[in-house]
Structure 1
Amino acid sequence: MQTQKPTRKTSAHSEVADSVLVQQALAGDHEAFETLVHRYETALFQMIYRYVGEYHQAWDVLQQVLLQLYLSLVTLHLRAEIRPWLFTVARNRCIDHLRHRRPTYFSELEPRDNAQGETTDLADLPDTSPQPEELTERRELRQCVYRVIEAIPIQYRLVVWHRCVGNLDFPEIGQVLNIPTSTVKNRFYRARPLLRAALGAQLDMATAKG
């Protein structure tokens, strides 16, 4: 399966500096944010995978990093480039993941002996990073999710992001947003019909284009 050709707008975005893309994303340009994701996600995934050692867990950590990127756009617009920040966030997420879920993974970061008694470094391990087709499909899915969530008011949007993408529970969301847990629950449940309506609109648009 061939990957989709980039649109003219995406092609133009590909040469734009990180700081400009952040500004455009803050202004509601979804393709600008997708360009940021596309620019760094493969390198981020490869780094994360070498920390956690398992494909699906690495994918989960990557999503946490990308969510943090999205939620941090307001502060990132002051940076000339976001690469150092992104990889610092990814490293910290990996360390947190290993500390709380798989502490034995730390031993996997060291060179080890194979069955023949030869030392195998992590650089020699098979590359299990996503194929281009997978990345394209994931980007398309993320674009749809972003459009649906962006269609609802901001007070609901942040709660939905933290709950559905960040996998935080209601008290944790309350701490992050500095609002009572009861308010978090109220906003989340009020957001559900809004999300259904926004998703229906997206499906109608997709059907019309098809």
Structure 2
Amino acid sequence: MAQDIEKTIIKKAKKGNKDAFEKLVMNYEKRVYNIAYQMFGNEHDANDMSQEVFIKVYKSLDKFNFKSSFSTWIHRITVNTCIDEYRKKKKNYQVESMDETMEQQDGTVHKQFVDKSLTPEEKAIKNENVRFIRESIDELKEEHKMIIILRDIKGYSYDDIADILDISIGTVKSRISRARASLKKIIKETQEQNINFYV
């Protein structure tokens, strides 16, 4: 969506135009859903979070002042909403494999790490590795998990992450570094535990 066109639509939505707001939802719903899915690992929570995000966007739209891009503003609401909810659910959280397929209104979407060229045996091994990495990521603190999702899974730039999280680029880099170090430690400890279990 071109910036000028989007700005016009936002202004209409701010005045209560429901069709304009629906256009904004349609433009951003997939991105919001994907971030929520990576955070929670299942469609039910991702759908719930998407609805919650757009309810907040609707209620807060009059506060949007065009100082940042609308994309950054929505992503910030998405990140904060997901982190808050994840903290509540963390104890009972169960993960699903990231490499399954999911049905959406616009057709089947393949999640991260799918490789159709693999043999069934290779897929089984890769699926197990993905599940292991996913579970390791889930052990991270909420802020570290989200920054790993934004940078290493979704591929956002440092600048984008700084805007979304409303922190400096230096803080982004140090947080990513700490998150990756924590993830490596978790993976190493889990692998050592598994080795000891089978010895």
TM bin, normalised by shorter chain, reads: 0.3 to 0.5
TM-score (norm 1): 0.44
